[in-house]
Amino acid sequence: MFNLIKTALACLAVSAAGAAAVRAADLTRYENPEFGIAGMVPVDFSAWTEMKDGKGRIYQTPDGRATVAIHGGTIPAGAMDQYKEFTRGAFVGNGGSVTYEANGDDWFVLSGV
């Protein structure tokens, strides 16, 4: 048996001096109805690439310093915690630092810089 997973990984590199509040009007919505996932992405982020499996999209700032990845998929039942830790390991292993996380039975979010 497989569980549907919904993940959003946001890796935003923002300087403290340049950080400004993002208004809802400054966001665009990405949605993948196959997996029931959606996310709001700043309008100045471009759709850098579709994920190879077609289950999500990666957005990037024009300078390439910040990335937002939104994707869904399936994993074996009972493996959500392992997949979350695998994702965290890949993020941290590439120099990231997790600053926010949330999860439910069939989804999780990791965010950081």
pLDDT at residue 68, rounded to an integer: 84
Q: What is the pLDDT of residue 44?
A: 87
Q: 12-26, 74-88, 95-109: which range is least confident on average?
A: 12-26
- For the chain, the structural domain boundaries read 2-112
The SS3 of residue 45 is: coil
Q: Which of 88, 90, 108, 85 is nearest to 98 (CA)?
A: 88
Please choose, from the candidates 21, 7, 2, the residue with its C-alpha nearest in 3D space to the C-alpha of residue 108.
Answer: 7
pLDDT digits (tens, 9 = 90+) for 35-76: 888 888 888 888 777 777 778 888 888 888 888 888 888 888
Is the pTM value of this prediction over 0.75?
no
Question: What mean pLDDT is reported for the chain?
Answer: 76
